[in-house]
Structure 1
Amino acid sequence: MPAGGGSQAAPDRPRVPDVDSTGWLAETRDSYDTVAADYVELVRDLLADAPHERAALALFAELVRAAGGGPVADVGCGPGRITAHLHGHGIDAFGIDLSPVMIEIARREHPHLRFEVGSMTNLALADASVAGVVAWYSLIHVPDDEVSSVFAHFRRVLRPGGPLLLSFHVGDESQLKTQGYGGHPMKVHVHRRRPARMAAWLRAAGFTVEAETVVSSPESKLGGILFARWHP
């Protein structure tokens, strides 16, 4: 789900990040807290029928190792399934999410991995502290005017040469989602974007886009995947 960043909290009581109680971050956090239990069941096995997305994640893991290895931030990790998948590829992955309930579930389902609460709009990670960043369909609720700031945070926390993997829904429209997983109420905007637009934002943030593709999978009827990295 969309989110990211934060500092380590006690395993049984994730810290709730300080966000504007009336803004889109608060609405996103509250919405995913509400649907978390149903969401985890709906997405649990999506990768099993998504060979192209599994291949993208395997390539990302290979690029992390080729760049020297190290910790990898799964930003907007939700219940931690992508974090765990990367761990299965031998990657030192940890998860970050805005929703405290999602983090509780992630810690329960993957007790051997590290999960933190926070916002991708203000990543509480040190400069050049991670070997890779993945944002797996977790930018879809971020407004257009916030994306560049998020990418600036990604660049700040990445080590030079570390890969960035993004996936997102492809399209031109934004829709308000008022009912979600399990029929629970939500209030989030779902933004669909063209790969060229995402690539342009990445380049403006100082990244080099190395590869892009679109896929159709259980995760997204039309999903975009971008690989990028930056060099000083």
Structure 2
Amino acid sequence: MDPTNLIITSYNRTAQRYTDLYFHDQTDLPFVKKEFIARLPKNASVLDAGCGPGTFTQLFMGTNMRVTGIDLSDNMLTIARKNVPNATFLKMDISTLTFPNASFDGIIAAYSLIHILTRQVPKVLHGFHRILTPNGILCIIGQKGEADHWMDDPDVPSEKMFFNFFTKERLSSFLTKAGFSILALEEQRNTSSFAEAYIYAVAKK
């Protein structure tokens, strides 16, 4: 069963709570700034793929970079537009990107692949590869653990959520098969109870 519609419904219901929990969370910033943002050209065009409330979109404000955020949750997009008013936000599925080829110098997909079925991950990554400029940079943030599975949402226990967690080896394999070269690949322990660790990857087209 494709979990997309249930995921959208869940995030529409929990958008404000998710924002309250994570919009100011800086756990991932050291890696993102060092391994992703530092590799981008000064006037880069950046896509935040699965932007949620704009948690990562906001990192590019105050720079000369142009950032676009996409998401399927209307409520998340409404909040993102308020949080980051100078960015561009569009309703779009990361598995069916409609941007022209070579549209972006960088793409960050933070905690969005974790809601994609394993069989669809190659399609998503090939889509990212297509819309990146030559030598464009991709940043993926996910979590370590079991592949396709349903579980109680750790942030909203009354909600069931689909997760697709990774290992470093599994994520690296997906990226290389999609035509990317790995630049950085890290695992950091997670203090939460629902995933073993955070998985971070930066790759070049």
**Number of residue pairs matched?**
202
- Pick from 62, 77, 91: which aligns with 2:38? 62
Q: Which of the two has greater strand per residue?
A: 2
* 2:21 counterpart of 1:42: yes
Q: Which amino acid aligns with 1:209?
A: I
- Pick from 66, 71, 84: which aligns with 1:92? 66
* 2:202 counterpart of 1:227: yes
Distance in structure 1 (CA, Å) of the matches to 2:131 and 2:163 = 26
Is the CA contact (8 Å cut-off) linking 1:46 and 1:218 kept in structure 2? no
Is the CA contact (8 Å cut-off) linking 1:170 and 1:223 kept in structure 2? yes
Is the CA contact (8 Å cut-off) linking 2:8 and 2:72 kept in structure 1? yes
**Aligned counterpart, 1:12:** none
For the structure 1 residues 101 and 218, does the alpha-carbon distance in structure 2 shift closer, same or farther, using more than 3 Å as the test? farther
1:180 Cα deviation from its structure 2 partner = 5.5
Moved over 4 A (4+): 217-221
Is the CA contact (8 Å cut-off) linking 1:57 and 1:86 kept in structure 2? no
**Aligned counterpart, 1:203:** 176
1:46 Cα deviation from its structure 2 partner = 1.3
Q: Which amino acid aligns with 1:171?
A: G
1:72 Cα deviation from its structure 2 partner = 0.2
Distance in structure 1 (CA, Å) of the matches to 2:191 and 2:69 = 22
Identity between Structure 1 and Structure 2 (%): 26
1:109 Cα deviation from its structure 2 partner = 1.7
Cα RMSD over matched residues?
Answer: 2.0
TM-score (norm 2): 0.90
Q: Which amino acid aligns with 1:226?
A: A
* 2:79 counterpart of 1:105: yes
Distance in structure 2 (CA, Å) of the matches to 1:105 and 1:141 = 20
1:86 Cα deviation from its structure 2 partner = 2.8
Q: Which amino acid aligns with 1:214?
A: E
Distance in structure 2 (CA, Å) of the matches to 1:195 and 1:144 = 15
Higher RCO (C-alpha 8 Å, min separation 6)? 1
Unaligned regions of 5+ residues in structure 2, if any?
none
Distance in structure 1 (CA, Å) of the matches to 2:51 and 2:63 = 17
Distance in structure 1 (CA, Å) of the matches to 2:96 and 2:179 = 18
Is the CA contact (8 Å cut-off) linking 1:35 and 1:181 kept in structure 2? no
* 2:126 counterpart of 1:152: yes
Is the CA contact (8 Å cut-off) linking 2:183 and 2:202 kept in structure 1? yes
Distance in structure 1 (CA, Å) of the matches to 2:184 and 2:156 = 35
| Superposition map of 1:130-141 within 5 A | 130-141=104-115
